[in-house]
Amino acid sequence: MTRFARRGLSRVMGWATDRHVPRFLRGTVYGGFARYAGADLSEVRLAIEDFPSLGAFFVRELRTGLRPIDTDPDALVSPVDGTVQAVCAVEKGTILQAKGRSYSVAELCGGLEHGLELDGGAAWTIYLSPRDYHRIHAPIAARLEAARWIDGDRYSVAPKVLDRRRVLDVNERCVLRLASARGTFLLVLVGAMNVGRIRVVGVSPSYAPEPVRPGSRFERGAELARFEMGSTIVLVAPRGVAAPLAELAPGRTVRLGTRIGTLLGRP
């Protein structure tokens, strides 16, 4: 499939998921999607009939209290529900993924990595499948220093696709630079096939050469952004800022707010 075809399919899917679903059909439509994807409807905050479209259902909010945030001040928490694709060190400006595929952090982050000592740092890659909760939350209390949308392709980000081709630095993505008292993090939100929209709280998408500089603050666990279909995030910590949990292996399921690393920088 060509890039033109992939983008066209994404637009069609976006249009389709935005269509209004009659209330009497919503239980059938959304329930069928949930059974197909494996989504847990018991976690959804609203009644299933309250979602006007499949797109609205896809970015459904969870019931209050379902994802408690680790209270240890030294905990770096997962910003999403998902499956660990890779946890690795940053070496010679690259991160290593499955099957030995490496990615340049500079290409992945589109310039927002400038001024950070990344070699010797760490990177977490987490895949969000269609069954997962698709809102992204702050992994640490931080100021959103910069946001940059990078135009790109729409390949699938399913693990079996990442195993055989470059995707993370090719697909459309949004890069967030989060400045905290414990250090600065880069959070890369990677779009995918059927994912034409990545929304950041309080920030309008912009493909201008210069990044947007919102300066807004988010508490740890606060909603930061959302995907409007399944996708992947890459969280990058510079040297001396955070260390991954030793037991966090590829294939492990993680939940929003659970510990994925330990903060090393002084508060």
Give the residue numbers annotated as catalytic, written as ranges.
81, 137, 231
Question: Quick one: CA dihedral 118, 119, 120, 125, positive or negative?
Answer: positive
Report the relative pairing of strands 217-218 and 253-254 from DSSP bridges: unpaired
